Amino acid sequence: MRKHLYIKGSWVEAAEYRPLYSPYNGMNIAEVAYANEAEVEQAIAAAELASPLMARMPAHERASILGKVAVLISERADECAHLIALEAAKPLKAARAEVDRTAMTYQLAAEEARRIHGETIPLDAAPGGEGRIAYTIRQPLGIVAAITPFNFPMNLVAHKVGPALAAGNTVVLKPAGQTPLSSLLLAELFEEAGLPAGALNVVTGSGSIIGDILVQDARVKAVSFTGSPEVGIGIRRKAGLKKVTLELGSNSALIVDQGVQLDKMISRAVTGAFSNSGQVCISLQRIYVHELLFNEFVEKFVACTEALHVGDPLDPYTDVSALIARKDVERSLEWIAEAKRLGAEVATGGVSQDNVVHPTVLLNVDASAQISCSEAFAPIVLINRVSSMEAAIQAVNDSRYGLQAGIYTNDIGTALAAAERLEVGGVMINDIPTFRVDHMPYGGVKDSGIGREGVKYATEEFTELKLICFKKE
């Protein structure tokens, strides 16, 4: 199966193709186009040509196209889920959930396309503003570069493509090298839905080649990137005056206060730690439990973890499958070994089979260990005891990241204080930090990035605010 580039509404043969292998069993899935500089230039030129048409397209037409895509995804949900499981090794039941969310994200984008608006400005609120009427409008930026990761290959694409098109922009999409197939299917669905040629272009291949061109080309007016802080910081430096939205990951933490009923939240916490093998930007990686509950929490958490089914992502019963690449398996095992050298105890897991790291629970992890300081992006979670809420909040904040955090507590004062003091973009009270629905504002502080996703907020990011002022006389 050979997969071409999608440029200007057509499937374009590339000069080079490379094999794509399953992360789970190494099977050759497809031969995928590997775009060169000239081919990326074609995609940008196509997006530029289509830009005036998209900017003039009535909001209801943009909404209709996005709504049709949502319906088409739902109609082909099984095919989409199978493709995600195949290329990303995401367990099938998690892939199905992602497909459902993807359809919802495009539906939300369709709704946002209909309600992009400005406001009137009372200029006479300041001396000298008398006799004038002013209002604002939001206009599309032009070309948006969407650079997406492997872990949610349909829904994180939707969070960039949907809002960009809703606002009247055109898009050049660079999907992750391991998960291009679902993005190429998306191009097919948008074509079927009636999107004008050139409004969406999909170029696959090297991130360093394609990404650098997109980030530095003056015709591209905005870059939306999800990935590592190192790459994101490089994008920010190269982008100049472009709008840049960066979602750069985390080592998300959960606080469990004394008095919490554990039976109501253990399975939820286990899901947050090990869903998609921990390859989630807001995966639960650090848990700080009050010392009065620590032993009970660990016992129940480990038992629930050991009940997870590990195996083939295409098996509908699988909970945890392969990591995206062998190097991530090796890194995960190195981090576990380092934590042990620093005094941590492995309560369960700590081993791998082929590209699958078994769900791993570490206890009493030193704050200097990589598994505490850095983003694991693997099925590893640490559980440490704390003596007070003050100590727990300090431990959570002792991180270069700040995407989301969670706290379980029965005390409203404790919840409100934690909500104010936790240095993150979102605080989930009586829930895990892994909670996300697709219309909420989503993004972080510190090295977790800049800007906000969530369909409404991303749509605003992809517009320019313009003031229009009339002098009455």
pLDDT tens-digit map of 42-89: 999 999 999 999 999 999 999 999 999 999 999 999 999 999 999 999
Could you tell me the maximum CA-CA distance found in the chain, to the nearest angstrom?
78
Q: Count the neighbouring beta carbons within 10 Å of the beta carbon of residue 37.
A: 11
Asked whether the beta carbons of 133 and 17 are under 8 A apart, the reply is no
Asked whether the beta carbons of 231 and 249 are under 8 A apart, the reply is no
Angle formed at CA 142 by CA 138 and CA 146, multiple of 5 degrees: 110
Strands 170-174 and 143-147: parallel
Q: Which amino acid is at 95?
A: A
Give mean pLDDT, residues 400-422. Answer: 98
Angle formed at CA 274 by CA 327 and CA 83, multiple of 5 degrees: 70
Q: Is 214 left (phi over 0), alpha (psi -120 to 50) or beta?
A: alpha
| pLDDT score recorded for residue 375 | 98
Task: Give yes or no for residue 297 having a pLDDT over 90.
Answer: yes
Neighbouring-strand partners of residue 446: 401
- SS3 call for 106: helix
Confidence tier at 473 by pLDDT (50, 70, 90) = confident
| pLDDT score recorded for residue 1 | 83
How far are the Cα atoms of 14, 156, 210, 447 from residue 206, in angstroms, in the given order? 13, 19, 6, 24
Q: Which of 39, 87, 98, 247 is catalytic?
A: 247
Give mean pLDDT, residues 192-206. Answer: 98
CA atoms within 13 A on the CB side of 238: 16
CA 418 centroid distance within chain: 25
Phi and psi dihedrals of 310, rounded to 5? Answer: -110, 130
b/e for 378-403, b at 16 or more Cβ within 10 A? bbbbbbbbbeebebbbebbeebebbb
pLDDT digits (tens, 9 = 90+) for 78-122: 999 999 999 999 999 999 999 999 999 999 999 999 999 999 999
Residues 6+ apart with CB under 8 A from 310: 318, 319, 320, 321, 353, 356, 358, 359
Confidence tier at 285 by pLDDT (50, 70, 90) = very high
How far are the Cα atoms of 195, 204, 279 from residue 370, in angstroms, in the given order? 46, 32, 16
- Token pair 């920010």 is found at 236
Task: Give yes or no for residue 137 having a pLDDT over 90.
Answer: yes
Q: Which of 39, 98, 281, 461 is catalytic?
A: 281
281 is catalytic: yes
What is the pTM (predicted TM-score) of this model?
0.97
CA 324 centroid distance within chain: 16
Asked whether the beta carbons of 449 and 127 are under 8 A apart, the reply is no
pLDDT digits (tens, 9 = 90+) for 218-277: 999 999 999 999 999 999 999 999 999 999 999 999 999 999 999 999 999 999 999 999
Find the helix or strand (DSSP H, E) in which 11 lies. Answer: strand 10-12
Q: In whole numbers, what is the pLDDT of the chain averaged over residues?
A: 97
Residues 6+ apart with CB under 8 A from 361: 298, 301, 302, 305, 346, 347, 348, 349, 381, 382, 383
pLDDT digits (tens, 9 = 90+) for 310-322: 999 999 999 999 9
How far are the Cα atoms of 263, 279, 405, 426 from residue 415, in angstroms, in the given order? 20, 28, 12, 13
Q: How far apart (Å, rounded) are the C-alpha atoms in residues 144 and 173?
A: 8
Find the helix or strand (DSSP H, E) in which 225 lies. Answer: strand 220-226
Phi and psi dihedrals of 107, rounded to 5? Answer: -65, -40
How far are the Cα atoms of 62, 203, 453 from residue 158, in angstroms, in the given order? 15, 16, 11
CA 234 centroid distance within chain: 18
247 is catalytic: yes
